[in-house]
A and B are shown apart, each in its own frame.
Chain A
Protein backbone atom coordinates (compact mmCIF):
# COMPACT_ATOMS: atom_id res chain seq x y z
CA UNK A 1 0.00 0.00 0.00
CA UNK A 2 2.77 2.39 0.96
CA UNK A 3 4.74 1.41 -2.14
CA UNK A 4 1.76 2.11 -4.37
CA UNK A 5 1.31 5.52 -2.77
CA UNK A 6 4.97 6.32 -3.31
CA UNK A 7 4.79 5.16 -6.92
CA UNK A 8 1.73 7.34 -7.51
CA UNK A 9 3.38 10.38 -5.95
CA UNK A 10 6.56 9.78 -7.97
CA UNK A 11 4.66 9.63 -11.28
CA UNK A 12 2.62 12.71 -10.30
CA UNK A 13 5.91 14.51 -9.63
CA UNK A 14 7.19 13.52 -13.10
CA UNK A 15 4.00 14.89 -14.67
CA UNK A 16 4.41 18.17 -12.77
CA UNK A 17 8.09 18.37 -13.66
CA UNK A 18 7.33 17.89 -17.35
CA UNK A 19 4.53 20.48 -17.18
CA UNK A 20 6.88 23.00 -15.59
CA UNK A 21 9.73 22.25 -17.94
CA UNK A 22 7.37 22.29 -20.92
CA UNK A 23 5.54 25.51 -20.03
CA UNK A 24 7.46 27.39 -22.74
CA UNK A 25 6.36 24.89 -25.37
CA UNK A 26 3.25 25.40 -27.49
CA UNK A 27 0.76 22.54 -27.44
CA UNK A 28 -0.03 21.05 -30.84
CA UNK A 29 -3.73 21.57 -30.08
CA UNK A 30 -3.03 25.29 -29.80
CA UNK A 31 -1.04 25.19 -33.04
CA UNK A 32 -3.98 23.48 -34.75
CA UNK A 33 -6.39 26.16 -33.48
CA UNK A 34 -4.07 28.85 -34.86
CA UNK A 35 -3.96 27.05 -38.21
CA UNK A 36 -7.76 26.91 -38.32
CA UNK A 37 -8.00 30.63 -37.53
CA UNK A 38 -5.47 31.40 -40.24
CA UNK A 39 -7.27 29.23 -42.78
CA UNK A 40 -10.79 30.36 -41.89
CA UNK A 41 -10.55 33.79 -40.23
CA UNK A 42 -14.32 34.24 -40.38
CA UNK A 43 -14.98 30.99 -38.52
CA UNK A 44 -16.73 31.58 -35.22
CA UNK A 45 -16.31 28.81 -32.64
CA UNK A 46 -19.87 27.87 -31.70
CA UNK A 47 -19.03 26.54 -28.27
CA UNK A 48 -16.49 27.19 -25.57
CA UNK A 49 -15.54 25.26 -22.45
CA UNK A 50 -17.94 25.96 -19.57
CA UNK A 51 -14.97 26.04 -17.25
CA UNK A 52 -11.23 26.09 -17.80
CA UNK A 53 -8.64 25.64 -15.06
CA UNK A 54 -5.72 28.01 -14.62
CA UNK A 55 -2.22 26.84 -15.47
CA UNK A 56 -1.49 25.65 -11.93
CA UNK A 57 -4.80 23.83 -11.48
CA UNK A 58 -4.37 22.25 -14.89
CA UNK A 59 -0.92 20.93 -14.00
CA UNK A 60 -2.27 19.65 -10.68
CA UNK A 61 -5.16 17.83 -12.37
CA UNK A 62 -2.84 16.24 -14.92
CA UNK A 63 -0.58 15.19 -12.04
CA UNK A 64 -3.62 13.70 -10.27
CA UNK A 65 -4.53 11.79 -13.41
CA UNK A 66 -0.99 10.43 -13.75
CA UNK A 67 -0.61 9.68 -10.04
CA UNK A 68 -3.92 7.85 -9.61
CA UNK A 69 -3.32 6.01 -12.89
CA UNK A 70 0.12 4.90 -11.71
CA UNK A 71 -1.20 3.68 -8.34
CA UNK A 72 -3.94 1.66 -10.07
CA UNK A 73 -1.35 0.31 -12.52
CA UNK A 74 0.92 -0.74 -9.67
CA UNK A 75 -1.92 -2.32 -7.71
CA UNK A 76 -3.05 -4.54 -10.57
CA UNK A 77 0.51 -5.43 -11.58
CA UNK A 78 1.00 -6.66 -8.00
CA UNK A 79 -2.17 -8.72 -8.27
CA UNK A 80 -0.99 -10.25 -11.54
CA UNK A 81 2.47 -11.00 -10.20
CA UNK A 82 1.27 -12.68 -7.03
CA UNK A 83 -1.69 -14.55 -8.51
CA UNK A 84 -1.26 -18.24 -9.33
CA UNK A 85 -4.50 -18.56 -11.22
CA UNK A 86 -4.15 -20.35 -14.56
CA UNK A 87 -4.08 -18.25 -17.69
CA UNK A 88 -7.60 -17.23 -18.58
Chain B
Protein backbone atom coordinates (compact mmCIF):
# COMPACT_ATOMS: atom_id res chain seq x y z
CA UNK B 1 0.00 0.00 0.00
CA UNK B 2 3.09 2.25 -0.11
CA UNK B 3 2.13 5.65 -1.54
CA UNK B 4 -1.57 4.81 -1.60
CA UNK B 5 -2.48 7.18 1.19
CA UNK B 6 -2.36 10.84 0.10
CA UNK B 7 0.37 12.91 1.87
CA UNK B 8 -2.16 14.79 4.02
CA UNK B 9 -3.50 11.56 5.52
CA UNK B 10 -0.09 9.93 5.78
CA UNK B 11 1.12 12.85 7.89
CA UNK B 12 -2.09 13.14 9.90
CA UNK B 13 -2.11 9.47 10.99
CA UNK B 14 1.59 9.65 11.84
CA UNK B 15 0.89 12.61 14.13
CA UNK B 16 -2.06 10.76 15.67
CA UNK B 17 0.02 7.63 16.33
CA UNK B 18 3.17 9.28 17.71
CA UNK B 19 2.06 10.13 21.27
CA UNK B 20 0.50 6.67 21.78
CA UNK B 21 3.65 4.96 20.55
CA UNK B 22 5.88 7.14 22.75
CA UNK B 23 3.71 6.43 25.80
CA UNK B 24 3.62 2.74 24.86
CA UNK B 25 7.41 2.61 24.62
CA UNK B 26 7.74 4.04 28.11
CA UNK B 27 5.16 1.62 29.47
CA UNK B 28 6.91 -1.30 27.74
CA UNK B 29 10.25 -0.39 29.30
CA UNK B 30 8.84 0.02 32.78
CA UNK B 31 6.89 -3.26 32.50
CA UNK B 32 9.94 -5.18 31.27
CA UNK B 33 11.99 -3.80 34.16
CA UNK B 34 9.33 -4.62 36.74
CA UNK B 35 10.29 -8.29 37.10
CA UNK B 36 11.65 -11.28 35.22
CA UNK B 37 8.10 -12.57 35.07
CA UNK B 38 6.49 -9.51 33.47
CA UNK B 39 9.43 -9.36 31.06
CA UNK B 40 8.79 -12.95 30.00
CA UNK B 41 5.08 -12.19 29.59
CA UNK B 42 5.79 -9.16 27.39
CA UNK B 43 8.12 -11.34 25.30
CA UNK B 44 5.50 -14.10 24.97
CA UNK B 45 2.77 -11.66 23.92
CA UNK B 46 5.07 -9.83 21.47
CA UNK B 47 6.32 -13.11 19.97
CA UNK B 48 2.67 -14.15 19.56
CA UNK B 49 2.08 -11.01 17.46
CA UNK B 50 5.15 -11.86 15.34
CA UNK B 51 4.08 -15.44 14.70
CA UNK B 52 0.45 -14.69 13.89
CA UNK B 53 1.13 -11.70 11.66
CA UNK B 54 3.54 -13.88 9.66
CA UNK B 55 0.68 -16.18 8.70
CA UNK B 56 -0.93 -15.50 5.36
CA UNK B 57 -4.25 -17.20 5.78
CA UNK B 58 -6.42 -18.16 2.83
CA UNK B 59 -10.01 -17.28 3.61
CA UNK B 60 -13.39 -17.50 1.93
CA UNK B 61 -14.03 -16.07 -1.55
CA UNK B 62 -10.48 -16.68 -2.82
CA UNK B 63 -8.83 -13.99 -0.73
CA UNK B 64 -6.17 -14.08 1.94
CA UNK B 65 -5.07 -11.86 4.79
CA UNK B 66 -2.96 -11.72 7.92
CA UNK B 67 -4.20 -12.01 11.50
CA UNK B 68 -3.12 -9.10 13.70
CA UNK B 69 -2.06 -11.35 16.60
CA UNK B 70 -2.47 -8.54 19.11
CA UNK B 71 -5.20 -10.21 21.22
CA UNK B 72 -2.96 -11.72 23.90
CA UNK B 73 -1.04 -8.47 24.28
CA UNK B 74 -4.28 -6.51 24.62
CA UNK B 75 -5.62 -8.83 27.31
CA UNK B 76 -2.37 -8.93 29.30
CA UNK B 77 -1.11 -5.36 28.97
CA UNK B 78 -3.76 -3.15 27.38
CA UNK B 79 -3.53 -0.93 24.29
CA UNK B 80 -0.46 1.22 25.08
CA UNK B 81 2.18 -1.51 24.98
CA UNK B 82 0.40 -3.04 21.99
CA UNK B 83 0.93 0.23 20.09
CA UNK B 84 4.68 0.05 20.63
CA UNK B 85 4.97 -3.63 19.68
CA UNK B 86 2.88 -3.02 16.53
CA UNK B 87 5.39 -0.43 15.34
CA UNK B 88 8.19 -3.00 15.54
CA UNK B 89 6.22 -5.68 13.68
CA UNK B 90 4.97 -3.25 11.03
CA UNK B 91 8.46 -1.84 10.50
CA UNK B 92 9.85 -5.34 9.94
CA UNK B 93 7.15 -6.11 7.39
CA UNK B 94 7.58 -2.74 5.70
CA UNK B 95 11.35 -2.67 5.43
CA UNK B 96 12.04 -6.33 4.69
CA UNK B 97 8.84 -7.48 3.02
CA UNK B 98 7.51 -4.34 1.32
CA UNK B 99 4.21 -5.10 3.07
CA UNK B 100 2.49 -1.97 4.31
CA UNK B 101 4.76 0.98 3.71
CA UNK B 102 6.57 3.83 5.42
CA UNK B 103 4.01 6.34 4.13
CA UNK B 104 1.18 4.20 5.52
CA UNK B 105 2.99 3.27 8.75
CA UNK B 106 1.22 5.93 10.80
CA UNK B 107 -2.19 4.82 9.53
CA UNK B 108 -1.37 1.15 10.09
CA UNK B 109 -0.09 1.75 13.61
CA UNK B 110 -3.25 3.73 14.35
CA UNK B 111 -5.49 0.84 13.21
CA UNK B 112 -3.49 -2.22 14.30
CA UNK B 113 -1.76 -0.74 17.32
CA UNK B 114 -4.18 1.80 18.75
CA UNK B 115 -7.85 1.77 17.70
CA UNK B 116 -8.21 -1.99 17.20
CA UNK B 117 -6.54 -2.89 20.52
CA UNK B 118 -8.45 -0.16 22.37
CA UNK B 119 -11.83 -1.42 21.13
CA UNK B 120 -10.82 -5.03 21.84
CA UNK B 121 -9.62 -4.08 25.31
CA UNK B 122 -12.91 -2.26 26.02
CA UNK B 123 -14.82 -5.35 24.86
CA UNK B 124 -12.64 -7.49 27.15
CA UNK B 125 -13.34 -5.31 30.16
CA UNK B 126 -17.03 -5.40 29.34
CA UNK B 127 -17.40 -9.19 29.16
CA UNK B 128 -14.63 -10.33 31.54
CA UNK B 129 -16.82 -10.60 34.63
CA UNK B 130 -19.37 -12.81 32.88
CA UNK B 131 -17.00 -15.15 31.03
CA UNK B 132 -14.04 -17.41 31.67
CA UNK B 133 -10.60 -16.10 30.82
CA UNK B 134 -10.53 -18.08 27.56
CA UNK B 135 -13.96 -16.91 26.45
CA UNK B 136 -13.18 -13.29 27.26
CA UNK B 137 -9.86 -13.54 25.40
CA UNK B 138 -11.65 -14.98 22.39
CA UNK B 139 -13.96 -11.94 22.38
CA UNK B 140 -11.07 -9.51 22.87
CA UNK B 141 -8.92 -10.98 20.08
CA UNK B 142 -11.74 -11.29 17.54
CA UNK B 143 -13.04 -7.78 18.27
CA UNK B 144 -9.49 -6.39 18.08
CA UNK B 145 -9.00 -7.96 14.64
CA UNK B 146 -12.31 -6.71 13.28
CA UNK B 147 -11.93 -3.22 14.77
CA UNK B 148 -8.45 -3.01 13.23
CA UNK B 149 -9.76 -3.65 9.73
CA UNK B 150 -12.80 -1.42 10.24
CA UNK B 151 -10.39 1.38 11.14
CA UNK B 152 -8.40 0.69 7.98
CA UNK B 153 -11.66 0.91 6.03
CA UNK B 154 -12.47 4.27 7.61
CA UNK B 155 -8.97 5.54 6.85
CA UNK B 156 -9.35 4.54 3.21
CA UNK B 157 -12.89 5.93 3.12
CA UNK B 158 -11.64 9.29 4.42
CA UNK B 159 -8.84 9.40 1.84
CA UNK B 160 -11.00 8.24 -1.06
CA UNK B 161 -14.60 9.30 -0.30
CA UNK B 162 -17.44 8.56 -2.72
CA UNK B 163 -18.62 12.17 -2.40
CA UNK B 164 -17.57 15.42 -0.81
CA UNK B 165 -19.77 15.12 2.28
CA UNK B 166 -19.98 12.81 5.30
CA UNK B 167 -22.24 10.47 3.35
CA UNK B 168 -19.54 10.04 0.75
CA UNK B 169 -17.04 9.04 3.39
CA UNK B 170 -19.54 6.62 4.92
CA UNK B 171 -20.32 5.02 1.57
CA UNK B 172 -16.63 4.59 0.71
CA UNK B 173 -15.85 3.26 4.20
CA UNK B 174 -18.59 0.64 3.89
CA UNK B 175 -17.31 -0.33 0.43
CA UNK B 176 -13.80 -0.89 1.77
CA UNK B 177 -15.18 -2.64 4.88
CA UNK B 178 -17.10 -5.02 2.62
CA UNK B 179 -13.84 -6.00 0.91
CA UNK B 180 -12.12 -6.75 4.22
CA UNK B 181 -15.14 -8.24 6.01
CA UNK B 182 -15.49 -11.35 3.83
CA UNK B 183 -11.89 -12.31 4.52
CA UNK B 184 -11.47 -10.96 8.02
CA UNK B 185 -14.55 -12.34 9.77
CA UNK B 186 -13.32 -15.96 9.66
CA UNK B 187 -9.73 -14.89 10.36
CA UNK B 188 -10.91 -12.94 13.43
CA UNK B 189 -12.64 -16.06 14.73
CA UNK B 190 -9.50 -18.16 14.19
CA UNK B 191 -7.38 -15.48 15.81
CA UNK B 192 -9.75 -15.47 18.79
CA UNK B 193 -9.40 -19.23 19.18
CA UNK B 194 -5.58 -19.11 19.02
CA UNK B 195 -5.38 -16.23 21.51
CA UNK B 196 -7.79 -18.02 23.85
CA UNK B 197 -5.65 -21.18 23.66
CA UNK B 198 -2.54 -19.14 24.45
CA UNK B 199 -4.16 -17.46 27.45
CA UNK B 200 -5.54 -20.79 28.61
CA UNK B 201 -2.03 -22.23 28.55
CA UNK B 202 -0.56 -19.26 30.41
CA UNK B 203 -3.29 -19.64 32.96
CA UNK B 204 -2.64 -23.36 33.35
CA UNK B 205 1.02 -22.87 34.06
CA UNK B 206 -0.15 -20.44 36.72
CA UNK B 207 1.86 -17.61 35.37
CA UNK B 208 -0.88 -15.26 36.19
CA UNK B 209 -3.83 -15.68 38.46
CA UNK B 210 -7.44 -15.22 37.36
CA UNK B 211 -7.58 -12.10 39.45
CA UNK B 212 -4.49 -10.49 37.97
CA UNK B 213 -5.56 -11.10 34.39
CA UNK B 214 -8.40 -8.64 34.79
CA UNK B 215 -5.91 -5.89 35.59
CA UNK B 216 -4.45 -4.19 32.54
CA UNK B 217 -0.86 -3.67 33.53
Contact = CB atoms under 8 A, between A and B. Distances in A.
Interface of A: 11, 14-15, 18-19, 21-22, 24-29, 31-33, 35-36, 39-40, 43, 45-49, 51-53, 58, 61-63, 65-66, 68-70, 72-73, 75-77, 79-81, 83, 85, 87-88
| Contact-residue size bin, chain B (C-beta under 8 Å from the other chain) | 35 or more
7 contacts: A25-B64, A28-B180, A32-B180, A52-B98, A68-B50, A69-B47, A77-B201
Nearest to B211: A87
A25 B63 contact: yes
B70 interface: no
Contacts of A77: 44, 201, 205
B202 A80 contact: yes
Contact of A83 (B37, B51, B57, B208): B37
A79 B38 CA distance: 11
Contacts of A51: 98
Contact of A11 (B43, B51, B65, B92): B51
B8 to A, nearest CB: 11
A18 B1 contact: no
Given A69-B49, A88-B34, 17 more contacts: A11-B51, A18-B56, A18-B57, A28-B180, A32-B179, A46-B3, A46-B6, A47-B102, A53-B96, A53-B98, A69-B47, A72-B43, A76-B47, A81-B205, A85-B36, A87-B212, A88-B37
Given A45-B3, A53-B98, A88-B38, A70 B47 contact: yes
A31 B50 contact: no
Contacts of B149: 28
Given A66-B51, A88-B35, A21 B58 contact: yes
B170 to A, nearest CB: 14
Nearest to B93: A65
Nearest to B159: A36
B180 A63 contact: no
B22 interface: no
B176 interface: yes
Given A65-B50, A80-B37, A15 B3 contact: no
Interface string B151-186: 010001000101000000000100110011001100
Q: What 5 pairs between A and B have smallest CB-CB spacing?
A: A69-B50, A45-B3, A88-B35, A66-B54, A47-B3
Contact of B62 (A25, A45, A49, A76): A25
